[in-house]
Structure 1
């Protein structure tokens, strides 16, 4: 996951944090501006039973702004070529955003926004 966001979305990463007594590990990924995502791993937590291609309660998706329609198109095609699922093709939404939606390696819905 860490390498995915660094490679495709130009995130930078802090060093790993380990809490050995809880068998917990995390990284903070930082994007341009004030946005950060914490990736956490703890072996005892079960995987979601939800289908990531469908909407569900809880975190449904998050968006990463890439700056232009051309970048949305290019990144969407690169991710498809690299074997990632495109859930929603690039388009202008009803509220005026140009975006696509892909699934990251763990099945999280990620909007790629101009």
Structure 2
């Protein structure tokens, strides 16, 4: 058994697709559109063939109330392993230079991970791990 994919609702489908392609090497499938429902989505596949990420957009989906830094029930983050502590540091600095919020500076956690936390363009928490 394994996780095949995770899905998140997004406000700006194209901006989020470009973000994951640019920073994490994702490849998007052809855009799926259901005109009857106003639904559209992409499945993003990552280089090491782990779980895919489905980003979805549809009118009428309510936004949850969070600033990306406040904890709440439900999905709180997902993590991308970039292979080394140096890669964590470099990618974190790239996010900083490109104007993204660094919610947690690179550090070793109590459970042994080396990670940083950034917010994607829509405020979702992403852990960048070694």
2:88 aligned with 1:72? yes
Deviation readout 1:91-112 (Å, 9 max, x if unpaired)? 0100111000000001000000
- List 4+ stretches of structure 1 deviating above 6 A: none
What is the deviation of 1:34? 2.5
Equivalent in the alignment of 2:31: 16
What is the deviation of 1:48? 1.5
- 1:30 maps to which of 42, 45, 53: 45
- 1:98 maps to which of 114, 118, 125: 114
What is the deviation of 1:44? 1.2
Q: What TM-score do the two structures reach when normalised by structure 2? A: 0.85
What is the deviation of 1:50? 2.1
Equivalent in the alignment of 1:3: 18
Q: What TM-score do the two structures reach when normalised by structure 1? A: 0.97
Where structure 2 has 5 or more consecutive residues not aligned to the other structure, the ranges are: 1-15
Q: How far apart, in 1, do the equivalents of 2:110 and 2:37 lie?
A: 45
Q: How far apart, in 2, do the equivalents of 1:38 and 1:88 lie?
A: 25
2:55 aligned with 1:39? yes
Number of residue pairs matched by the alignment? 114
> Which aligned pairs between 1:45-60 and structure 2 lie closer than 5 A?
45-60=61-76
Secondary structure in 2 aligned to 1:63? strand
Where structure 1 has 5 or more consecutive residues not aligned to the other structure, the ranges are: none
Secondary structure in 2 aligned to 1:64? strand
